[in-house]
Amino acid sequence: MTAFVRNQWYVAAYTEEVGEDLLARTILGEPIVFYRTQDGTAVGLADRCVHRRFPLSLSRRDGDRIVCGYHGFTYEPSGACVYVPAQTRIPRTARVPSYRVVEQDSLVWVWIGEPELADASAIPRAPWLDQPGWTTVRGMEPLAARYGLLVDNLLDLSHETYLHGGYIGTPEVAETPITTEVDEDARIVYVRRRMKDVECPPFYASSTGIDGRIDRWQDIEYRPPCLYLLHSRIAPTGVEPGPDGDDRGACHAEIVYAITPETETTTLDFWMVARDFAVDDEAVSEFLAKSNRTVVMQDVVALNALERVIATEPEGYQELSINIDTGGLAARRLLRKLAG
Ligand code: FES
Ligand SMILES: [Fe+2]
């Protein structure tokens, strides 16, 4: 089983999810309440009152403070308790842990681990989510499966042919071999599948408006543990990027997943599709949002089933791996290394 990797940044929410209301999210088994102060700063506090454990997420705000809904302990955004009922002396230990929270690329990242090791410059980027010239659709599905199963799933896209036929899967995805590369120092797994002169799946035929056969690139870049990028390039067959890198003849979709472990056997599956074509076309946005959610739910159903199988299998059961699993195996190895 893939262990939790602590001392890392994780996506806790989309920026628009954190606001006036108290948002409860559990990340690597730690219950956290998120909210935004009046000056716009996103805050994350341990979601457990120091007094009798009442969830702060079920409490109420008083300005930038949270007033515990059970007996009124009142907390500052720093986690310090500034009021307890019926006495003036506030115990020295009356404080809930506060988390390092950073917003970048329209994502709310939280540091899980030793606070003094948090380095915001180490947060991986996904600039398309928040950049002119791109339009993004996105959502989040809770997964009743361990995060390692989602990593396996995303690192091996040959499953598209079987699980997502009629959406993004075509026979050529499973038939085309992949190349896998691991940057050990930067800790990135790359998996590339370059398909030439292939059928255009409905997902892209309807959204790009490209007629006929295409060249289709799937370039995966996985930055463990949390961020997964699929650089997808769709072009009419034979249209290549220019020598200066100019690639205006092609359509690009940046498919981003944030893989956030919730508990040992549940995961927050954040999915996003950013595109540089038909950026103002609402109908295309609606189509991609609906289609991609359907695809994500096909994975959710499959991965939830795998988790149920794991729950009943004997200790020491051995899987069988083949060439298509090279990326997934490399990812597991990096995750083990990061878990230390
Ligand atoms: S549990 Fe929060 S004040 Fe008692
Ligand atoms: Fe899938």
Residue-wise pLDDT for 241-276, tens only, equals: 999 989 999 999 999 999 999 999 999 999 999 999
Task: For residues 222-244, give the mean pLDDT.
Answer: 96
Mean pLDDT score of the chain: 96
Return d(Cα 117, Cα 130) in angstroms, integer.
27
Ligand 1 neighbours by CB, cut-off 6 Å: 49, 51-52, 54, 68, 70-73
Average pLDDT over residues 12-36: 98
The domain covering 8-122 belongs, at the CATH homologous superfamily level, to Rieske [2Fe-2S] iron-sulphur domain (2.102.10.10)
For the stretch 120-137, what's the b/e string if a residue is b when 16 or more beta carbons lie within 10 angstroms of its beta carbon? Answer: eeebbebebbbeeebbbb
User: Which atom in ligand 1 lies closest to the alpha carbon of residue 69?
Assistant: 2
Query: For residue 19, how far is its CA from the centre of ligand 1 (angstroms)?
Result: 23
Span 144-155, mean pLDDT?
A: 98
Please give the pLDDT value at position 192.
97
pLDDT number for residue 9: 98
Ligand 1: residue whose CA is nearest its atom 4? 71
Percent of the chain with pLDDT over 70: 100
Query: 173 CA distance to ligand 1 centroid (A)?
Result: 55
Sheet holding 266-275, edge to edge: 135-143, 266-275, 251-263, 227-236, 214-223, 188-198, 179-183
Which burial class, exposed, middle or buried, applies to 141 when counting CB atoms under 10 A from its CB (0-12, 13-18, 19+)? middle
* Ligand 1 atom with the shortest distance to the CA of 71: 3
Confidence of residue 147 (pLDDT cuts 50, 70, 90): very high
Which residues are found with C-beta within 5 Å of the ion, ligand 2? 299
Q: Where in the chain is the domain with CATH 2.102.10.10?
A: 8-122
Is the per-residue pLDDT at 1 higher than 70? Answer: no
CATH fold, domain 127-339, is Naphthalene 1,2-dioxygenase Alpha Subunit; Chain A, domain 1 (3.90.380)
**Residue 167: predicted pLDDT:** 87
Q: Per-residue pLDDT for 2 more than 80?
A: no
pLDDT(237) > 80: yes
pTM for this entry: 0.96
Question: Which residue CA neighbors atom 3 of ligand 1 most closely?
Answer: 71
List, by residue range, all CATH 3.90.380.10 domains of the chain.
127-339
Helix (H) or strand (E) holding 293: helix 282-312
